[in-house]
Every structure is written in C-alpha cells, then in structure tokens.
Copies of this chain bind each other. A is one copy, B any other.
Amino acid sequence: MSVIAASSGIAANPARALVCRNCGAEYPLIAQNACYECFAPVEVGYDQAALRAVTRADIEAGPHNIWRYAPLLPAGQDPASRVTVNPGMTPLIKADALAAELGLKTLWVKDDSANPTHSFKDRVVSVALTAAKGLGFSRFACASTGNLANSVAAHGARAGVPSIVFIPYDLEQNKVVTSAVYQGQVVAIEGSYDDVNRLCQELTETDEFEETAFVNVNVRPYYAEGSKTLGYEVAEQLGWRLPQQVVIPMASGELLTKIDKAFTELVEIGLVDDTPWRVFGAQSAGCNPIATALHAGTDQITPVKPTGIAKSLNIGDPAAGPYALEAVRRTGGWMDYVTDDEIRDGIQLLARTTGVFAETAGGVTVAVLKKLVEAGKLDRDAETVVYNTGEGLKTIDAVSAQVGPTHTVRPSLKAAREAGLLG
C-alpha cells in the first residue's frame, strides 16, 4: 500500500493472506504452497483497500525497476529488505517491421532478455527471495529448466547467501555455466524437469532443507506474484492502458495467469480503464499439454514427456495449466504450439525485424504469434503485445547451424572485390 508507516519509515505490505485457488480457504503469510483442505495451490490475496489507495503517481515516483510496484507486491516495501538484482522496466519495443510482415496493425515486443540475468525469472526470484529472507530462510534454492537457476545463483552471490540449484542434466551448456559461475552448488539431476521438481518437493520436507527456500516450491506463492510486474509494466509503458491482445509463452502456465491477474488488478483498483483484453498462450509441439487440453475442449491436462529445443518451456506436468486454460477461455483468447523448425524461424524473424535476439522460448512465442495471425485467431486490427522472456545467447545452438558469416575473405581490397563485396 502507498501509506508509509510513520514510526518506521517502512511501507506496509498489502498482502493479506494465502488463499486457496480452489476452495478459498485462507492461511497466514508463511512458506506454504498448497491448501491443507483440498491440496490445490494457494496464492497471495491482498487487502483491496490497500491496493485501491495506490496511485499512478506513487508508482511513477518509484525506482526504474520492479520495486516501483512494491505497493502491489507481497514483499520488498522496505528497500533494505530486498534480496534483488533490481530487474524490470525492460523495453517495450514498437515492432513496426514485424507487424507489417505479419499483417498486424500495432505490435509491441516486451523484451525481458534485458533483465540482469537475461530472463523474466529475475522478477519472480527477487520477490520470492525477499519474502524468503523475511520468513527467516538462510539458503536459496530452485528446481529449474535453466533461467531460474541462473537467477537464483546470481541473487545468492549478490546477497552473500548460499544457493543450491537443481537442473536437468541435459540443459544447454550456456545455462549450466551461467549458473555455476557464481560458485554456489549446482546439482544436475539425471532426469527431466518434472523429476527435478518432484525431488525438490521431497527435499523441502527433510530436516536438512528446513532452512532452504525453494523459490518455486515452498515459497512459490510469493514467487508467482513477481510475474505480475510483466503486466503492470506493459500497462504503464503504454501510458496506463491495457493492450487488446497479449501472446505469452507457457511452461507451468503461471506467467500467463499472473499477467492476466495484473490486468485484472489494475482495472479493479482504478489505475487503468476497464477495456477488454484477450490472452493467448504459446507452447512448443514437444511440450504442449495445456494447448492440447484447450484444443480438446477439456479441463483435464494430460502430462507429457517433453522433447524439443524449447527446454525452458519443457514442463510436462504444468502446475498452473488449469488456471491458464481458465484465463484464456474467460478472455476469448486461444493457445497454439509450434515445431522446432518454426521456433528457429521465429527467433530469426524477431531478430531480423526488431534487433532482439531471443532464446528458444521467444522463438516459440513469435512463431505462435505468426500462426495465430494466419489462423485468424488474433484480430489483426487489435493492439498486440508479444512477450520475449529470455536471451538468445543462452540457447545459441538453436540457430548456430542456420546463421554465420555471409562471406569469408582475405584482408585485401582485391579479395573483397573477388568476394563480390564491391558490387
């Protein structure tokens, strides 16, 4: 909330309780990620009066990072409390050339590769670890497909807190090195991400990990709220209004649900006008359980064994899948999925037309954007935002066989002429 506690100089926290997403049961703001009544996930509920007290001016007076939205988050109101690399306020790029090629009227790219460890995960990790520190945890951990491990390890190094990150053994090498360079513990698990995630859930229940915060397990409700900032920022960067269509990559499906939650909140608390938005989800053909459920018209998500190059999206048993389906159906959106070749083309299309080099997840999202336009699912005249959540350098192998020098020549004018460089 925007009210500053007079005695302490610390803004109060607008979070009120953990609330079950299924039955509505409420719990105190502790380290808990499932409902004791019905076992569904819990999420952070807010004091609506506190949220409604927040003004655009409050936010605009804040720092040029996610903490400008601290009045709408469950942690970090006191700057001294933050465990953070200060992510956020990444560019919203007008993509006229890409729009023209796809036949869209107005298109923006929200480029979250600009975060400190070059993915949107810095947002969720900063919120989760700030909450975790407040809850007394003394070690940071995660189950990760790569980007999350990069971010947790970097946050640990910055804060001087030990970290232990768990990743599948077959990750892209660039993501492994970018976790290990910070010199915390990096545990490669001989299995899929879903195996990693299961093991981490078991570890949280051991005595030895009692003081370890797994950002996406035992403090997951706080973690998930960090994704709301990707909705807030787009609205603020558009001049405090909502886009009409958003295209979002899906792994667990949580990012999509939280951008939708951010738009809903902004309307409810009066920071933007109540204009309709439609939410679209993107997966790869190698891991498409949520999109498949939508296409089949069911609420039941059948887990898959992921394959393909979009490793950061390879969650075969997506925890927030049902909520992503709900958001897409409620707003009149759609989901689709694309092949590895389409992903590679998507990376190159985005790079050539915007100067943004995305990782495979961004290739997925741009390729699905293209597919949705061609299928008539997206309104060509409606203002659209496509989210790039990660950096091309981390998945360089996806395109390194496709692109390279166009010429190789000896260092002389004569050689340059013979190579055709002089017309």
Chain A interface residues (CB < 8 Å from chain B): 64, 85-86, 89, 91, 93, 97, 111, 114, 116-118, 153-158, 160, 164, 167, 169, 173-174, 176-178, 180-183, 185-191, 195-196, 198-199, 202-203, 206, 208-209, 347-348, 351-357, 391-394, 396, 399-400, 403-413, 416, 419, 421-423
Q: Which of B177, B199, B406 contacts A396 (CB 8 A)?
A: B177
Q: Which residues of B contact A89 (CB under 8 A)?
A: 64
In angstroms, Cα B177 to Cα A101, docked, is: 23
Q: Which residues of B contact A393 (CB under 8 A)?
A: 118, 174, 178, 391, 393-394
Distance to closest chain B CB from A183 (angstroms):
4
Indicate if the CB atoms of A422 and B355 lie closer than 8 Å.
no
Given A154-B357, A155-B355, A393-B118; A177-B404 close (CB under 8 Å): yes
Minimum-distance CB pairs A-B, first 9: A158-B355, A195-B411, A191-B411, A180-B403, A188-B405, A154-B355, A157-B355, A393-B393, A208-B422
Q: A199 to nearest B CB, angstroms?
A: 5
What residues on B are CB-neighbors of A406 within 8 Å?
180, 185-187
Q: In whole Å, how far is A386's beta carbon from the nearest beta carbon of chain B?
A: 16
Sample (26) of A-B pairs whose CB atoms are under 8 Å apart: A64-B64, A93-B158, A114-B116, A116-B355, A117-B357, A153-B355, A154-B351, A154-B355, A154-B357, A158-B354, A158-B355, A174-B396, A180-B405, A182-B351, A183-B351, A185-B406, A185-B407, A187-B406, A188-B405, A188-B408, A190-B410, A199-B412, A203-B413, A203-B416, A203-B421, A208-B423
Q: In the complex the two chains form, what is the Cα distance from A403 to B354 in whole Å?
A: 34
Task: Give A54 to B97 CA distance when docked, in angstroms.
Answer: 36
**Residues from chain B with Cβ under 8 Å of A351 in the complex:** 154, 157, 181-183
In contact, B199 and A403 (Cβ under 8 angstroms): no
* Interchain CB contact under 8 A, A392 and B154: no
Q: Which of A64, A180, A354, A392 has the most CB of B within 10 A?
A: A180
Using Cβ atoms and an 8 Å threshold, which residues of chain B touch A114?
114, 116
A186 to chain B, nearest CB (A): 5
Asked if B355 and A392 make an inter-chain contact with CB atoms under 8 angstroms apart, the answer reads no
Evaluate contact between B157 and A353: CB separation under 8 angstroms: yes
CB atoms of B183 and A403 under 8 A apart: yes
Within the complex, which residue of B169, B185, B408 is in contact with A190, where a contact is CB–CB below 8 Å?
B408
Q: Does the CB pair A177–B400 fall under 8 Å?
A: yes
Question: Beyond the given A97-B160, A118-B393, could you list 4 further A-B residue pairs with CB under 8 A, ordered by the A residue number?
Answer: A167-B405, A176-B405, A187-B416, A190-B411
Q: Which residue of B lies closest to A405 (CB)?
A: B188
Of the residues B118, B202, B208, B403, contact of A177 by C-beta under 8 Å: B403
- Contact partner of A187 among B153, B154, B167, B409, CB < 8 A? B409
> Which residues of B have CB within 8 Å of A177?
396, 399-400, 403-404
Question: Cα distance A413–B403 when bound, in Å?
Answer: 43
Q: Are A182 and B352 in contact (CB under 8 A)?
A: yes
Instruction: Verify B206–A422 contact, CB threshold 8 A.
Output: yes
Q: Is the CB of A188 within 8 A of B407?
A: yes
Asked whether A408 and B169 contact (CB < 8 A) given A91-B86, A97-B160, the answer is yes
